[in-house]
Chain A
């Protein structure tokens, strides 16, 4: 690779584009009940918005957004959200991942299932985003730029 160089135009364009991609990622996750989408696709979009900043700004700028050591715990949190949703249902006397038993008061089981699907989609999105960013971080760690 050639010598590293800083171009403010690329970084400015990435800064302009990245929040909209992230917003669209959350839209794909949360609106997955009504339109095509869901955790995996939305997580890939979230990772795209973060990786855009990382590619454009280099390592030092990227540390301002999500630090490198934070990605692996985020993936664990994403998997744990899913697993906890299943275990709470077991603890309340249902089957594993039976969202009708989640302890949220004032909801009948159908709406509880609606909420449970939303919870696990957010968990999947977090895990996918963190894993993709983690793979990128570990690939570029040996390079000397940024």
Chain B
């Protein structure tokens, strides 16, 4: 346990600083010379959807099929809870 915590703390000491604009994930080109999606979202979220909250734009517009899947998951979970918990008349065997 302590060893695992020590490994995690050692790994965390190597993380980049938060909010540093020179980080790899904030660069416009990734190391394989393709465009990074995050910078596109940050630059164009307000222009595309007139919504200041970037998270809402990513969840509701760019990744809306993913959100639709989440809703289907909740709906299916509710239906299964309905099937399991519903009080039915127990038929006596024989």
**Cβ contacts under 8 Å, A141 to chain B:** 85-87
User: Across the interface, do A117 and B56 meet the contact criterion of CB distance under 8 Å?
Assistant: yes
Chain B interface residue count: which class?
20 to 34
Given A114-B51, A117-B49, A142-B87, A131 contacting B77 (CB threshold 8 A): yes
Q: Which B57-81 residues have C-beta < 8 A from chain A?
A: 57, 59-61, 64-65, 67-68, 70-72, 74-75, 77-78, 81
A66 to chain B, nearest CB (A): 15
Chain A 84-124 interface residues, beta-carbon cutoff 8 Å to B: 86, 96-97, 99, 110-111, 113-114, 116-117, 120-121, 123-124
Contact pattern, A 33-76, Cβ under 8 Å of B = 1, otherwise 0: 11110101000000000000000000000000000000010010
Report the nearest A residue to B55, measured CB to CB.
A36
Residues of A within 8 A of B60 (CB): 38, 116-117, 120-121
A142 and B57 CA atoms in complex are apart in Å by 43
Report whether A32 and B67 are in contact in the complex, using a CB–CB cutoff of 8 Å: no
A residues less than 8 Å from B18 (CB atoms): none
Shortest distance between the CB of A138 and any CB in chain B (Å): 4
Per DSSP, are chain A's interface residues mostly helix, strand or loop, or mixed? Answer: helix
Contacts A34-B52, A114-B49, A117-B61 hold; do A138 and B81 have CB atoms under 8 A apart?
yes
Contacts of B85 in A (CB 8 A): 135, 138-139, 141
The residue that A75 contacts in the complex, of B48, B68, B75, with Cβ under 8 A, is: B75
Q: Does B91 contact A (CB under 8 A)?
A: no
A127 contacts partner chain B, Cβ-Cβ < 8 Å: yes
* Min C-beta distance of A107 to chain B, whole Å: 10
A36 CB to nearest B CB, Å: 7
C-alpha gap A65/B86 in the complex (Å): 21
> Within the complex, what minimum Cβ distance (angstroms) separates B85 from chain A?
4
- Residues in A neighbouring B68, C-beta threshold 8 A: 82-83, 86, 97, 120
Q: Which residue of chain B has the shortest Cβ distance to A31 in the bound complex?
A: B53
Complex: A38 Cα to B53 Cα, angstroms: 11
Min CB gap B40→A, angstroms = 15
Which residue of chain A has its CB nearest to the CB of B86? A138
Do residues B71 and A124 form an inter-chain contact, with CB atoms below 8 A? yes
